Structure 1
Amino acid sequence: MAKLILTQEVTGLGAAGDVVDVKNGYARNYLLPRGYAMAWTKGGQKDVERLRAARRAREIATVEEAQAVAEKLQAKPVSVMVKTGESGRLFGTVGAAQVAEAVEAEGLGSIDKRTVEIPERIKSTGSYTATVKLHADVTANLDLQVVPAK
């Protein structure tokens, strides 16, 4: 078992600043190469506090505020403008950062790209659903309309 400090939220494992024990292969092959975690050390406790402080600054303070933001996000679909080829296929995929920028451009507020989860790779235009984790108890399903840029 490997003891790690998570540097960002990992679904099903924990949030940034959490100290977790995982199997060596999961740590070596997935968490560490992608930058989701760093090895735990005695001196790493300062990093844990820094990560937790940054997470508290980013997250929405109360459940009521998170529910209000969730209602706003679920009220209407968000259009994501992307470059496409002739057949409607994208040049690349739509990522969490593009979704967060589109939400802000639509005037629905500012969300952290790290809270956006896209369950399937978006490679063509159409309708998709993303999940936004606003608070520990509040998630919002965000309807995305991927449309070609003019």
Structure 2
Amino acid sequence: MSNTFFILFVIAIFVFAIGKTIYYFIEKKKIFESCRQSNSIEIKNISGTIFIDGGNRKRWEWCIFHLLINENSIFLFTVSFGLIPLKIINLLFSNKNRKNTRNPILLREYKIEKNNAVLVYYPDYMIGSKRITLNNLNQEQLLLLEKTLEGKSRRFY
């Protein structure tokens, strides 16, 4: 009996991961069709981390990001463990322009360093902050992020 339960549990985990992956790619395709602007820029396969500071509870996740940079927002498509997609994060530069966005969260601060960029936002459901670090960016990608974020969000040093 316990052997059967364990096998069903493992199968359920695999089915859930497959279902979540299919849903993620359908949502990603919808976003590219409905939210992509003519001057959008796409950056793929950026390694990075998400640090969640929820007050007493802190969590760290290693992810791979795909970015879609629009005029008024950045879409971050996160993938964890190389295969399992986590979520789609839409960081908005200003509440004035919400065109071509989906469930946006206001980007509060950013910091661009030598090889990485740090984006900080505060979700509505959480007291603490979320910090996304995009690692191993080349100079072209750093300049592109700098140009996109300049004057649209608060910079911290």
Q: Which has the higher helix share?
A: 1
Larger fraction in strand: 2
